[in-house]
Amino acid sequence: MTLAEELSAALDELRRDSLERSLRLIESAQEAEVRYGGRDFVMLSSNNYLGLAAHPGLKRAAAEALARWGVGAGASRLIAGSLGPLHELEAALARFKGTEAALVFGSGFLANVGTISALCSPRDVVLSDELNHASIIDGCRLSRATVRVYRHRDPTHLKVLLEESAGARRRLVVTDAVFSMDGDLAPLETIVALACEYRASVMVDEAHAVGVFGPRGEGLGAELGVDKEIDVQMGTLSKALGAYGGYVAGSRALIDFLINRARSFIYTTGLAPALAAAAGAALKIVESEPERSRRLWENAAYLKEGLVALGFRIGPTASPIIPVMVGASETALSLSERLLARGIYVTAIRPPTVPPGTARLRVTPTAAHTREHLARALAAFAEAGRELGLVGGGSAGGTPAGGRGSAFPLR
Ligand SMILES: *Cc1c(COP(=O)(O)O)cnc(C)c1O
């Protein structure tokens, strides 16, 4: 068999198991509604939480930076020099996060991979939540450190692993703040206290928390008042901040060390200056327009309560990420397709992104959605759910669901 034949066979197998993925061409900007195949759809699958991805302020900042600084960064920032907009953004991020310094990476993925592999070596132990993001897992693997995976959100298990790893040179506890596919939260207060007791360091990935949690949108660490005890605060510019790129915030020593040792920072071209300018504009909007985050939470509560009332099984989320649990990949695909037929864009999330048998529709409203968008989505969910036998045939508001109540714990 040629390589192409082997790969085609592998793809056939994925298709048989309802696990094949493909790209859908979107013909508009990433807003509350998107255009696809010549029709408009309510987009409920993006991480554009605050509706900033196509915001005029971000576009203006990017356009101005484009005119002054051009498109490309030329080379690695250590080789061709480091452009002004990146320094401005790093100062703004450090101010926003209340840390001594910050460092921008090409993406959140690159930030995690480079940071974990720079901080840890084969003499070290990384303690990692079992549902951490793929980029954390890959960072752990690249570091060649011993990786001890603790049960999801389980500090008791983490404590056992800390006790067992006393001989390590360095121990790094790493966790998502908001788990990306379930929307539940890491017990950061307990994790920080355990790390202190066992002299371990803590790294938190705030990808889904920045702009969503915290008194000024700084993240979950700030919301819980433990941000000062987190050694490495990682985040992305590409979700609530609507741009692209990743960052790490922390001590000056941490940042200087990463500049010297993070391979995904050193051996890659600097972030495009226009993106840095757009992210800087987003930070200002996050701080000056808290009503965006309020609208996001209101929209999420409305949508979640509606889905629960319809009888859908919602995972134990405590964030605007609403996982509609389906189980089989085939059923998840079918639900997604039926919603699409009704003008609602929600992608099926299947293994290996989530554990086998836990396929779901991950529903994420944004601050930009109107009640009318969300009511349309609920009507479509009701019809599609009934067709698939996922919810009772009665009128909307019938069977109570297996969800965890309607209130978001922190709001
Ligand atoms: C999206 C995501 C990343 C990667 O961020 P990008 O900027 O999109 O590369 C890292 N961690 C988590 C938890 C994420 O959800």
d(CA 270, CA 71): 11
Tell me the percentage of the chain whose pLDDT exceeds 90: 95
pLDDT value for 310: 98
Q: How far is CA 79 from CA 69, 271, 335, in A?
A: 17, 14, 50
Q: Is the CB of 246 under 6 A from ligand 1?
A: yes
d(CA 266, CA 262): 6
Question: For the chain, which ranges sit under pLDDT 70?
Answer: 393-411
Q: Residue 379, exposed/middle/buried by CB under 10 A (0-12, 13-18, 19+)?
A: middle
Residue with token string 């009332």:
309
Phi/psi at 101 (5° precision): -155, 170
Q: Is the CB of 46 under 6 A from ligand 1?
A: no
| CA 207 to ligand 1 centroid distance, Å | 6
pLDDT tens across 164-184, in order?
999 999 999 999 999 999 999
pLDDT value for 380: 98
pLDDT value for 392: 87
Q: Is the CB of 293 under 6 A from ligand 1?
A: no
| CA 181 to ligand 1 centroid distance, Å | 11
Nearest residue (by CA) to ligand 1, atom 2, is: 207
Residues marked active site are found at 180, 208, 239
C-beta separation of 86 from 101 below 8 A: no
Q: Is the CB of 362 under 6 A from ligand 1?
A: no
Nearest residue (by CA) to ligand 1, atom 5, is: 108
Cis amide prior to 355 (ω within 30 degrees):
no
Query: What token pair was written down for 237?
Result: 């510019």
pTM to 2 decimal places = 0.95
pLDDT value for 360: 97
Nearest residue (by CA) to ligand 1, atom 1, is: 207
Q: Is the CB of 133 under 6 A from ligand 1?
A: yes
Instruction: Sheet with 125-129: list strands edge to edge.
Output: 101-105, 246-250, 232-236, 201-205, 171-176, 125-129, 146-150
Give the pairing type, strands 246-250 and 232-236. Answer: antiparallel
C-beta separation of 143 from 113 below 8 A: no
pLDDT tens across 134-162, in order?
999 999 999 999 999 999 999 999 999 99
Nearest residue (by CA) to ligand 1, atom 7, is: 108
d(CA 158, CA 153): 9
Cβ neighbours, 10 Å, residue 27: 11
